[in-house]
Amino acid sequence: MPQLTCTIDRNKVLGEGGNSVVYAGTYGTSQVAIKTFKKAAGKIGDELMKAIEKEATLAAQLRHPNIATFWGECVDPLSNDRVLVFEKLGKSVYDAIHENLPPSVATRNKWLLDTAHALYYLHSQDPPIIHRDLKPDNILLGVYCP
């Protein structure tokens, strides 16, 4: 697994769940998404490290145009914790729905089909991969544009 040198921008939270927080960051000159893990999420020490390793190993195997690309791992210089680095994508479906005018039916259908393709890919793995937190906030659109 590649060990990356990255910088985390803790002022730019891209998303947050029960077990993790995703921040904007950089890897070299590239803008990336950096997933950090909450220690108070019920796992500590070796158990947390095993969960992070499992997620990293799984993410490294996924190759699909509708799933964010895993770049590798780095160590958070602030906490010395292991974090995961992903391709940074655009806004979420939730954000897009709540901006200005509602998206067209054709646009919404494309989002639906892209999501279905990604889920089909995940569910076709051996063993099947279940997302467990599918919601408009977690469906990201297109390429990140600074």
Are 31 and 71 spatial neighbours (Cβ–Cβ below 8 Å)?
no
Is residue 43 marked as binding? Answer: yes
Calpha distance 133→53 (Å, rounded): 20
Are 18 and 28 spatial neighbours (Cβ–Cβ below 8 Å)?
no
SS3 letters across 56-120: HHHHHHCCCCCCCCEEEEEECCCCCCEEEEEECECCEHHHHHHCCCCCCHHHHHHHHHHHHHHHH
Are 43 and 124 spatial neighbours (Cβ–Cβ below 8 Å)?
no
Q: Name the catalytic one among 9, 114, 126, 133.
A: 133
- 133 assigned to active site: yes
Which among 106, 115, 105, 103 has a CA at the least distance from the CA of 140?
A: 115
Annotated binding site: 43
Detail the residues annotated as belonging to a binding site for ATP: 43
Active site residues: 133
